[in-house]
């Protein structure tokens, strides 16, 4: 089992969701997050005072999958979020030790999907 | 007695209330960080409560009551609204009940200390703020109102003109704001971390309410529903429009983008500036005064404040101090008797006398306000301590001073 964490552009969320559904990945947690990468945030001006380093709005997806779904999920996120420009985001993959469905106590691979 | 005049001044009184709450409250509230928004709303609201009572109990009498001697302060003869009934007082307004004049002026006494909040925002202890405000209203506002507007007031006797409070309201609060900002010091992290307004839509809402309420403030100061009121109304409107637009254009040229905060700041600067002069100038000159208001206030806030490094958090001095001073001086330049026979001719209309007395008034009031603010600040600091603990400042004034939070993160 793997936990896939993806940081993407907010306006790409719908496309990513659609691509994930196309490969039968329907469960995800979505959060608004702030961050910056190589593009270094942005500058805001309030009454002439420049406030540099403003973090950019990003969307974070947390998706837990079984091994078979890891590559299709990566492919789907990449397809939906890719524009080729700086700021497209990143995908992190970490090993997932356990997964428990709260409603019926199922554990492991069965509980993920 | 005139029912039209009375109706207009009662209505204007309500309009000026709207300027403090919710106008100024939201204008300032949107500019602070989210952890301090309630402290701003609270300060504006409690000022309405406290100073309204101060006013009817003794503030009105100190300001407008029979002169106690030398034109320095009113006596306490009208304390508790003694002799302030429904009969007109011709010294102030011959066609409306004396009580209506009193309650109209009450709203001015309320908003003036509220303007200073912008300087000490995000770091002043609530108890200290409350004591400072009551003392300031009593020992700074009331005397100045008496000098400039009260019967027998020594500046009034010298022929100064302040139509709706360029000196009494804006210069006094603005200079005091600067002194408080200097004495109180910077907010923790100022210039080291970003200070972003937490809700600019609130600020825009507040600016709109201020503009709306200012028609009562300025046109109401004619104390009649007449041609002078109409002139003040129009001059107020076009000065605000000109200043808002000018600010946006200056920003556009300087930074590559006009901001809504800039337009709002410019408009409020224009409104503060036109306040002393709106009943004495024709609207075309009001436009010119408004354009320069934006330029002067922009220079004060963006260039001078940045150079000197004081933390006038929400620019109470940069907007109200600078605008009030410029407007008061503008009376001595642009006033014309053709607009208001009870006024004077300014330097551009052949008489330099008015210009000189206006300058003198600005200087005297500024020095008085600065000295008094310094004394009151030191007094309050000694008695209760004026600034919150560093830790409380990090947590925010909403939780540490008011024990409540404006926004929930989790339901």
Q: Does B252 touch chain A (CB under 8 A)?
A: no
Residue pair A35/A58 in contact by the 8 Å Cβ criterion:
yes
Residue A39 has pLDDT above 80, yes or no: no
Q: Does B257 touch chain A (CB under 8 A)?
A: yes
Contact residues on chain A for B267, CB-CB shorter than 8 A: none
Distance CA A73, CA A57 (A): 23
Q: Where does residue A15 rank: exposed (0-12), middle (13-18), buried (19+ CB within 10 A)?
A: middle
Residue A54: which of B194, B254, B257 has the nearest Cβ? Answer: B194
What's the confidence (pLDDT) of residue B43? 98
What's the confidence (pLDDT) of residue B410? 82
Residue A40 has pLDDT above 80, yes or no: no
Question: CATH code at A65?
Answer: 3.30.70.120
Report domain extents, chain B: 3-401
Residue B379 has pLDDT above 80, yes or no: yes
Helices (H), B69-141: 98-120, 126-136
What's the confidence (pLDDT) of residue A80? 97
Percent of chain A having pLDDT more than 70?
100
Distance CA B7, CA B56 (A): 21
Q: pLDDT band at A50, cuts 50/70/90? A: confident
- What angle, rounded to 10 degrees, do the helices at B98-120 and B37-54 form? 150
Residue from B32, B33, B194 to probe the interface with A (highest A Cβ count within 10 Å): B194
What's the confidence (pLDDT) of residue A41? 77
Residue pair B168/B369 in contact by the 8 Å Cβ criterion:
no
Q: What is the mean pLDDT of residues B379-395?
A: 97
Q: What is the mean pLDDT of residues B360-379?
A: 98
Residue pair B161/B343 in contact by the 8 Å Cβ criterion:
yes
Give how far B292 is from chain A: nearest CA, Å. Answer: 17
Percent of chain B having pLDDT more than 90?
98
Per-residue pLDDT tens digits for B88-136? 999 999 999 999 999 999 999 999 999 999 999 999 999 999 999 999 9
Distance CA B22, CA B274 (A): 22
What's the confidence (pLDDT) of residue B386? 97
Range of the domain at A103: 2-112
Residue pair B77/B66 in contact by the 8 Å Cβ criterion:
yes
Distance CA B2, CA B7 (A): 9
Q: Determine the residue of chain A that is closest to B306 in CA distance.
A: A49
What's the confidence (pLDDT) of residue A113? 79
Residue B82 has pLDDT above 80, yes or no: yes
What's the confidence (pLDDT) of residue B211? 98
Q: Where are the beta strands (DSSP E) in B149-229?
A: none
Per-residue pLDDT tens digits for B4-13? 999 999 999 9
What's the confidence (pLDDT) of residue B5? 98
- Phi and psi at residue A107, to the nearest 5°: -130, 160
CATH number listed for the domain at residues B3-401: 1.10.3430.10
What's the confidence (pLDDT) of residue B17? 98
Residue A53: helix, strand or coil by DSSP? strand
What's the confidence (pLDDT) of residue B77? 98
Per-residue pLDDT tens digits for B15-74? 999 999 999 999 999 999 999 999 999 999 999 999 999 999 999 999 999 999 999 999
Q: Does B197 touch chain A (CB under 8 A)?
A: yes
Residue B188 has pLDDT above 80, yes or no: yes
Q: Following DSSP, what letter does each residue of B350-398 receive, concatenated? A: T-SHHHHHHHHHHHHHHHHHHHHHHHHHHHHHHHT-SB--HHHHHH-HH
Q: Does B260 touch chain A (CB under 8 A)?
A: no
Output the average pLDDT for chain A.
93
What's the confidence (pLDDT) of residue B7? 98
The domain tally of chain A equals 1
């Amino acid at each position: 089992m793997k936990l896939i964490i993806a940081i993407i552009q907010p306006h790409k969320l719908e496309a990513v969701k659609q691509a994930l559904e196309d490969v039968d990945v329907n469960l995800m947690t979505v959060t608004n997050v702030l961050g910056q990468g190589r593009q270094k945030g942005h500058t805001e001006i309030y009454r002439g005072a420049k406030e540099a380093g403003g973090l950019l709005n990003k969307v974070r997806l947390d998706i837990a999958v079984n091994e078979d779904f890891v590559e299709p999920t990566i492919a789907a996120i990449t397809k939906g979020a890719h524009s080729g420009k700086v700021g497209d985001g990143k995908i992190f993959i970490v090993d997932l030790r356990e997964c428990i469905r709260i409603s019926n106590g199922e554990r492991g691979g069965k509980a993920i999907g | 007695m005139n029912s039209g005049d009375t109706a207009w001044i009662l209505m204007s009184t309500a309009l000026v209330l709207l300027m403090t709450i919710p106008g100024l409250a939201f204008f300032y509230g949107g500019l602070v960080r989210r952890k301090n928004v309630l402290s701003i709303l609270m300060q504006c609201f409690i000022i309405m409560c406290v100073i309204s009572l101060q006013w009817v109990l003794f503030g009105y009498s100190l300001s407008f009551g029979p002169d106690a001697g030398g034109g320095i302060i009113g006596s306490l003869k009208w304390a508790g609204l003694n002799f302030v009934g429904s009969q007109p007082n011709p010294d102030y307004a011959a066609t409306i009940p004396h009580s209506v004049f009193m309650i109209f002026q009450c709203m001015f006494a309320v908003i003036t200390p509220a303007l200073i909040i912008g300087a000490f925002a995000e770091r002043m202890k609530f108890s200290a703020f409350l004591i400072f405000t009551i003392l300031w209203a009593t020992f700074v506002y009331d005397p100045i109102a008496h000098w400039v507007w009260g019967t027998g007031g020594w500046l009034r006797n010298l022929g100064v003109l302040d139509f709706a409070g360029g000196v009494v309201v804006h210069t006094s609060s603005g200079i005091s704001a600067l002194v408080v900002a200097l004495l109180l010091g910077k907010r923790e992290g100022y210039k080291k971390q970003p200070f972003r307004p937490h809700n600019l839509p609130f600020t825009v809402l507040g600016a709109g309410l201020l503009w709306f309420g200012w028609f009562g403030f300025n046109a109401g100061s004619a104390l009649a529903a007449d041609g002078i009121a109409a002139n003040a109304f129009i001059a107020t409107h076009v000065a605000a429009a000109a200043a808002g637009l000018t600010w946006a254009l200056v920003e556009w040229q300087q930074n590559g983008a006009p901001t809504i905060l800039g337009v709002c700041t410019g408009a409020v600067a224009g409104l503060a500036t036109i306040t002393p002069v709106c009943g004495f100038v024709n609207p075309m000159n009001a436009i010119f005064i408004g354009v320069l208001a934006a330029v002067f206030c922009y220079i004060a806030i963006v260039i001078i404040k940045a150079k000197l490094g004081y933390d006038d958090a929400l620019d109470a001095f940069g907007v109200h101090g600078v605008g009030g001073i410029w407007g008061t001086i503008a009376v001595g330049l642009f006033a014309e008797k053709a607009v208001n026979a009870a006024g004077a001719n300014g330097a551009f209309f052949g008489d330099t006398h008015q210009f000189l007395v206006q300058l003198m008034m600005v200087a005297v009031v500024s020095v008085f306000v600065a000295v008094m603010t310094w004394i009151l600040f030191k007094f309050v600091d000694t008695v209760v301590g004026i600034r919150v603990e560093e830790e409380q400042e990090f947590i925010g004034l909403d939780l540490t001073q008011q024990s409540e939070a404006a926004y929930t993160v989790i339901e």
